[in-house]
Structure 1
C-alpha cells in the first residue's frame, strides 16, 4: 500500500511555522512518521478484526509481515507494505483431528489422523480438510499443513498479508481515518514547535 497524506488545508497550518528555522520541514517530517506508525497499527487491526474479511492471525505474526518505508526530509511519504507470500495454513489455528478406529493391520483400536481443521476467517468456522497432516518445512523448520495429491506432497497456504491489506483498503474507511489523523497530528506538531 502506498498512502499519500491529503494536504488540503494543511498549507494554512504550516504557515504558522514559516518563521521558525526549518519549521515546515520539521512539522511535516514528524507528521509523516506519526502517520506511518498509525497506518501500520490500523491496517493490522483491520486485517484481524474486520467483520467480513478479518483473518484469524495473531497480532505479533501479522505485524512482522507489515513493513514501513523509510522517511527523510527529502522523502516525506508514509508507506506500509505487506508480504505477498501466502500464509501457511498452520498459522490459522490449525488443529489435528484424530478418531479412534479399528486398524486391521495392527488388530486393535488406535487413534488415526482424521485431517486438519483450520479457521481462516476470524468470524468464520473451522473447516476440516480430510487427508491433510502437519509437516515440518525443510528450509525453515516451521510447521505447515500438507496434503498428498497425485502422489505429490503439497503444502497448503491461505491469503497473503498483501491480499488481506488490499481487502481492508477496498472495503473499509481506513483512508478517511488516516487522513483525519494526519490533519489532527499536523496541528499537534505545529503547536509543539510554536511552544518551543
Structure 2
C-alpha cells in the first residue's frame, strides 16, 4: 500500500496542533480564573452560614490570586487573624463600617450583646474571668474610628498590657471548615468550564 501525504494538508494539521497546544494552556488558565472567582462566591455563601457577617465584608477579606499561562495556579487567601468581636455586635453601628467613632459609644443599658452565628439568639458578653469589671467599647488607634470590645485584664498580659481586646473566629478558620464542601462542587465546575473553553478555542475564540 502506498500512502502519499499532501504537504498543504500536513501544514494545516501542524497549525491546528500548534494552536491547540497553546490553546490548551489558555483554556486551563481561563478555567482556573473562572473557578477561583466562582469559588469565592460559593465560599462566601458557606461562610455566611457559619458566621453572621455581611457579603460585602466577607468578599473584601477574600483575596484572589489569578492564574497566568506562565504560572498556572489560582488561589483564595483569607486573613488568619481573628476578627474583632465587635463585628458580631447586635448594634449595627458597632458591627458595620458606616460610622467612624471619635469617642467610644455608651454601653447599652442591657449590656454588650453579640451574635456570632446566623441562627439562635444574641448573647450577653461578660468577658469571662480574663477581665475585672464589665467589658466596654474602645476606639482603636489608627483604625479610622473602628470600635472594639475590650476589658481590663485581671492579670497583665505577656507584654504587660492591662487592656484586652476581644476577637471572634478568623475568616481563615471558617474558610478551612467550609472549603471541602465548596471544593467538591468546584471540581465539577472546573471540568465543565475546561470543556467549554477548549470548545471555544477550537471555534476560534
Matched, 1:153 2:149: no
TM, length-normalised to structure 2: 0.71
Q: Aligned-pair distance for 1:70?
A: 3.7
Larger fraction in strand:
1
Runs of at least 5 residues in structure 2 that lack an aligned partner in the other structure = 1-15, 93-106, 127-133, 156-161
Matched, 1:175 2:175: no
In structure 2, do the counterparts of structure 1 residues 18 and 118 end up closer, same or farther at CA, with 3 Å as the change threshold? farther
Q: Which residue of 2 aligns with 1:190?
A: 198
Aligned mates of 1:139, 1:36 — CA distance in 2: 33
TM, length-normalised to structure 1: 0.74
Question: Is 1:56–1:93's contact at 8 Å kept on the other side of the alignment?
Answer: no
Q: Which residue of 2 aligns with 1:74?
A: 70
Matched, 1:143 2:170: no
Q: Aligned-pair distance for 1:19?
A: 4.9
Question: Is 2:51–2:118's contact at 8 Å kept on the other side of the alignment?
Answer: yes
Aligned mates of 2:56, 2:108 — CA distance in 1: 33
Runs of at least 5 residues in structure 1 that lack an aligned partner in the other structure = 1-16, 97-110
In structure 2, do the counterparts of structure 1 residues 195 and 112 end up closer, same or farther at CA, with 3 Å as the change threshold? closer
Question: Is 2:114–2:124's contact at 8 Å kept on the other side of the alignment?
Answer: yes
Question: Across the two proteins, how many residue pairs are aligned to each other?
Answer: 160
